[in-house]
Chains A and B, each alone.
Chain A
Amino acid sequence: MDFQGDANLKATELRLGLPGTLNEPAKQSPPSKSSKRASLEIYDESSSKKRETSSSDVDDRDSTAPPTKAQIVGWPPIRSYRKNTLQPKKHDADALGTFIKVSMDGAPYLRKIDLKQYKSYPELLKALEIMFNFSIGDCSERDYYMGSEYAPTYEDKDGDWMLVGDVPWNMFISSCKRLRIMRGQEARGLTCL
């Protein structure tokens, strides 16, 4: 979508290319396990969730090398009906379909998430909190993100930036193109609406 001169956008892009074509050290094995274990000590229990990689994975590597944890099509080689064992998903015809980019102000790189994995706003927000290691505080219907330094926003189909939480969940996942977690002054403005 927007390669706004930010090389790190490519890092989390879904692609089929060979590792090595993006300054990725093909032979150098990322010491993922050792750095992950280190990160388990540094961070609290939220890092021990099995699915999350923590930001310290990237810190261990060359700053120009993107994390090698980008989603790769068809890897590991598991047939679609074996994935998502918890969800009765019928067809996985479009493997690239619902992944959207998530950026957080101040974070050096973006992430990607699959919106279909979540069934509600609280689930999504919780996952984002873990992913970027921040706290969004209470999310109540009337006082969104009250008292929080952060505000989750999304870009919809029309290109407008909206506050997450206004529309019904299903409408949200079908219109959300990307997420941005704002922080600081701008965010406080939104949270005091």
Chain B
Amino acid sequence: MSENNHLHHHHQNHCSPSPAETMSEDDEPGRPQPPDPGSKKTRNCAAVHPSPHPDRVLEIVLEHVLQFLTARRDRNAASLVCKSWYRTEALTRSHVFIGNCYSVSPSRVTARFPRVRSVAIKGRPRFADFNLMPLNWGAHFGPWVATMGKAYPWLERVYLKRMSLTDRDLCLLGDSFVGFKELELVCCDGFGTGGLAAIASKCSQLRVLDLSDTEVMNDGVDWISCFPEGETCLESLIFDYVECPINFEALESLVARSPALKKLRLNREVSLGQLYRLMVRAPQLTHLGTGAFGPSEAQGASDQEYDYASAFSACKSLVCLSGFREIVPEYLPAIYPVCANLVSLNLSHANINVEQLKPIICQCRKLQVLWVLDSVCDEGLKAVAAACPDLRELRVFPFDPQEDAEGPVSEVGLQAISEGCPKLESILYFCQRMTNAAVIAMSKNCPDLVVFRLCIMGRHQPDYVTREPMDEGFGAIVMNCKKLTRLATSGLMTDRAFAYIGKYGKLVRTLSVAFAGDSDTGLKYVLEGCHNLQKLEIRDSPFGDAALLSGLHHYYNMRFLWMSSCHLSRQGCREVARALPRLVVELLSYEGNEKMDDGAVDVLYMYRSLDGPRNDTSESVTIL
């Protein structure tokens, strides 16, 4: 597979022509100059060379135009116009997004899109993060890297979410892609420090190594030391949840010789003193994850007391701050110098109270993204509401994620936020008690909401004040927030809530339901009403076969449906599988339940696939 320099990769601004290559299946003697926006040559391509066949002219124009089309929905639409457009679009697509790794085989992807530079693949469904999926279910990167290694030697970027990779896969990646630049692994697992070492040593052009939320096994390999000597191209190094000790001296040296480094997120093994040493070497940072933000246990009192505030002052471009994994709150004032410029602040690991939060938050006038622990209480959220009028995204995590814990945040905090932050677009709120009134208020005060995820931690909890179900609150959200695409519900909900969602949630693409509803009718409302529904995840709700069968008209349009601990039977699932041959219907069983043949289904996970059922299943998986 040779590189076609005629292609305009959307990252690049120009490329040089190469006479021997052709762009499409038809052989063409002459070819127009490379696309250079604003250049006369593009417009007069036919005049520069001997006139190509008229049909070809149209294709050439299309090729140039399609370069500017980057959104995948636009590209998908373009590919449906006619065969010629389909072909041209396929040849000009440089980034491929696979929403469900089992919906299509790697070879089908490489056959259709021969000139890909960047790939994004998503594997397991989200409920796998909460131990609801049997181990070793699948989503292996192996087959993908093997196929792409041969088809895409010029691959530069890989983004994976909830996939499993092995050290060997990473070695193969490093060996296959000479110019590899960006590796982003989100919520992945299966490999260790050995795999990281392979990437570090083999990918000399590496700009981005992002291991957000990814588990890395500690094989004892010092991967930080495996980066090549001399200056690196590193722009982003993110390993905040990698739970392995790292060689600090090697890290310090790496940071010192990476002048392009803008994003650095350290794991909690890095102490405050070590953070200081890194910061002074990288004042150009825009994104910083601070690691522990406390003195290391080993050093203890002998830790030199640096002027941490001055290190922060020196980082004049810092806009995004996170970390604080083992915070010693006395050191928090060190971040004051950067607060005024912060756009994103993640304190969700910092067990701080409202008095510790206030001095920081009142300086963060530009803040748009805030993640906190509920330890800041309703009072803390009131302070946020007062200080951050521009807030777009808020996440409030529970310090004590138990059903019966005390709840420091409640409807009071939610109400305050809705009043102070009218531009809010995304919220994730864990609490122990809530009222419909507060949720309704938010629906009216924050009309721009795109993501609304409320987690009332006690199952089946009604409105705290009125003792009514939370139907009206969620109903108001879908009714009033016209841009809503993602919704997660909780608390006591009857079928009425689902009637609202089905009726008004026309743009909803992702819906999460847990311990909710009365009967099949609830799910029917959703499947019949939510025309844009892509991802539906349901657990522990009384929906059965009749409800499942009411969605047959829609399942081919969805990325997946997950239903666990509901009222489904094998018989019902089999009916779906029969009715929809292109749907892969997986029944997963929890440990100890495999032998139970009473027909009850633990987990139903189904998705459409162009290439039939997968062949890498474990014992706990049955494909109907």
Chain A residues close to B by CB (< 8 Å): 16-20, 26-30, 32-33, 36, 50-51, 53, 57, 68-69, 72-83, 85, 88, 90-93, 95
Give Cα distance in the complex from A189 to B135, angstroms: 47
**A17 and B565 form a contact (CB under 8 A):** yes
Task: Kindly identify which residue among B135, B406, B467 contacts A93, using a CB–CB cutoff of 8 Å.
Answer: B135
**B132 and A74 form a contact (CB under 8 A):** yes
**B590 and A16 form a contact (CB under 8 A):** yes
Q: Top 5 A-B pairs ranked by shortest CB distance?
A: A74-B130, A50-B406, A78-B401, A95-B131, A76-B457
Main secondary structure of the interface of B (DSSP, over half): loop
**A68 and B401 form a contact (CB under 8 A):** no
Give Cα distance in the complex from A68 to B518, angstroms: 18
In the complex where A29-B460, A51-B405 touch, is A16 in contact with B602 (Cβ < 8 A)?
A: yes
Chain B residue numbers with a CB within 8 Å of A28 are 460
B86 touches A (CB below 8 Å)? no
In the complex where A29-B462, A32-B458 touch, is A69 in contact with B403 (Cβ < 8 A)?
A: yes
**A76 and B401 form a contact (CB under 8 A):** yes
Given contacts A76-B403, A85-B349, 10 further A-B contacts (CB under 8 A): A16-B540, A19-B515, A29-B467, A50-B405, A51-B400, A51-B402, A53-B404, A72-B459, A73-B132, A79-B213
**B455 and A77 form a contact (CB under 8 A):** yes
**A81 and B241 form a contact (CB under 8 A):** yes
24 contacts between A and B (CB under 8 A): A18-B541, A18-B542, A19-B459, A19-B540, A20-B542, A29-B467, A32-B461, A33-B464, A50-B400, A50-B406, A51-B405, A68-B459, A74-B131, A74-B539, A77-B130, A78-B397, A78-B401, A79-B213, A81-B213, A88-B268, A90-B218, A91-B215, A92-B131, A95-B131
Closest Cβ of chain A to B514, distance in Å, is 7
Give Cα distance in the complex from A27 to B590, angstroms: 26
Closest Cβ of chain A to B243, distance in Å, is 5
**A90 and B455 form a contact (CB under 8 A):** no
B84 touches A (CB below 8 Å)? no
Closest Cβ of chain B to A172, distance in Å, is 24
B55 touches A (CB below 8 Å)? no
Complex: chain B residue closest to A68, CB-CB? B459
Closest Cβ of chain B to A109, distance in Å, is 15
**B401 and A83 form a contact (CB under 8 A):** yes
Complex: chain B residue closest to A69, CB-CB? B404
Chain A residue numbers with a CB within 8 Å of B458 are 30, 32
Complex: chain B residue closest to A54, CB-CB? B404
Chain A residue numbers with a CB within 8 Å of B155 are none
In the complex where A18-B566, A26-B542, A90-B243 touch, is A79 in contact with B403 (Cβ < 8 A)?
A: no
B137 touches A (CB below 8 Å)? no
Closest Cβ of chain B to A59, distance in Å, is 15
| B interface residues, tally (CB under 8 Å) | 52
Give Cα distance in the complex from A53 to B351, angstroms: 23
B398 touches A (CB below 8 Å)? yes
B430 touches A (CB below 8 Å)? yes
**A27 and B565 form a contact (CB under 8 A):** no
B564 touches A (CB below 8 Å)? yes
Chain B residue numbers with a CB within 8 Å of A72 are 403, 459, 540
**A27 and B518 form a contact (CB under 8 A):** yes
In the complex where A50-B406, A51-B405, A95-B131 touch, is A76 in contact with B565 (Cβ < 8 A)?
A: no
Chain B residue numbers with a CB within 8 Å of A17 are 540, 565
Chain B CB within 10 A, most for which of A18, A50, A74, A78: A74
Task: Kindly identify which residue among B129, B405, B515, B540 contacts A79, using a CB–CB cutoff of 8 Å.
Answer: B129
Give Cα distance in the complex from A83 to B564, angstroms: 23
**B540 and A77 form a contact (CB under 8 A):** no
In the complex where A74-B132, A90-B243 touch, is A85 in contact with B351 (Cβ < 8 A)?
A: yes
**B564 and A75 form a contact (CB under 8 A):** no
**B130 and A78 form a contact (CB under 8 A):** yes
Closest Cβ of chain A to B404, distance in Å, is 5
Chain A residue numbers with a CB within 8 Å of B539 are 74
**B542 and A16 form a contact (CB under 8 A):** no
Give Cα distance in the complex from A26 to B430, angstroms: 22
**A16 and B455 form a contact (CB under 8 A):** no
Complex: chain A residue closest to B375, CB-CB? A85
Chain A CB within 10 A, most for which of B243, B398, B404, B566: B404
Give Cα distance in the complex from A88 to B399, angstroms: 15
Task: Kindly identify which residue among A20, A73, A82 contacts B401, using a CB–CB cutoff of 8 Å.
Answer: A82
Task: Kindly identify which residue among A16, A19, A82, A91 contacts B460, using a CB–CB cutoff of 8 Å.
Answer: A19
In the complex, chain B residues 437-462 whose Cβ is within 8 Å of any chain A Cβ = 455, 457-462
**A27 and B460 form a contact (CB under 8 A):** yes
**B492 and A27 form a contact (CB under 8 A):** yes
Chain A residue numbers with a CB within 8 Å of B132 are 73-74
In the complex where A18-B540, A27-B492 touch, is A77 in contact with B514 (Cβ < 8 A)?
A: yes
**B130 and A75 form a contact (CB under 8 A):** yes
Closest Cβ of chain B to A71, distance in Å, is 9
Task: Kindly identify which residue among A16, A77, A91 contacts B564, using a CB–CB cutoff of 8 Å.
Answer: A16
Closest Cβ of chain B to A97, distance in Å, is 11
Closest Cβ of chain A to B53, distance in Å, is 57
Chain B residue numbers with a CB within 8 Å of A81 are 213, 241
Complex: chain A residue closest to B348, CB-CB? A82
Complex: chain B residue closest to A89, CB-CB? B243
Give Cα distance in the complex from A25 to B455, angstroms: 21
Chain B residue numbers with a CB within 8 Å of A36 are 404
Give Cα distance in the complex from A81 to B218, angstroms: 16
Give Cα distance in the complex from A50 to B408, angstroms: 10
**A85 and B542 form a contact (CB under 8 A):** no
Give Cα distance in the complex from A32 to B407, angstroms: 12
Give Cα distance in the complex from A57 to B455, angstroms: 22
Complex: chain B residue closest to A70, CB-CB? B403
Chain B CB within 10 A, most for which of A18, A20, A57: A18
**A16 and B565 form a contact (CB under 8 A):** yes
Complex: chain A residue closest to B406, CB-CB? A50
Complex: chain A residue closest to B539, CB-CB? A74
Give Cα distance in the complex from A109 to B75, angstroms: 61
Chain B residue numbers with a CB within 8 Å of A79 are 129-130, 213
Chain B residue numbers with a CB within 8 Å of A68 are 459-460
Complex: chain A residue closest to B240, CB-CB? A81
Give Cα distance in the complex from A80 to B130, angstroms: 7
Give Cα distance in the complex from A18 to B563, angstroms: 12
**Binary interface profile of B, 385-407, with partner A (CB < 8 Å = 1, else 0)?**
00000000000011111111110
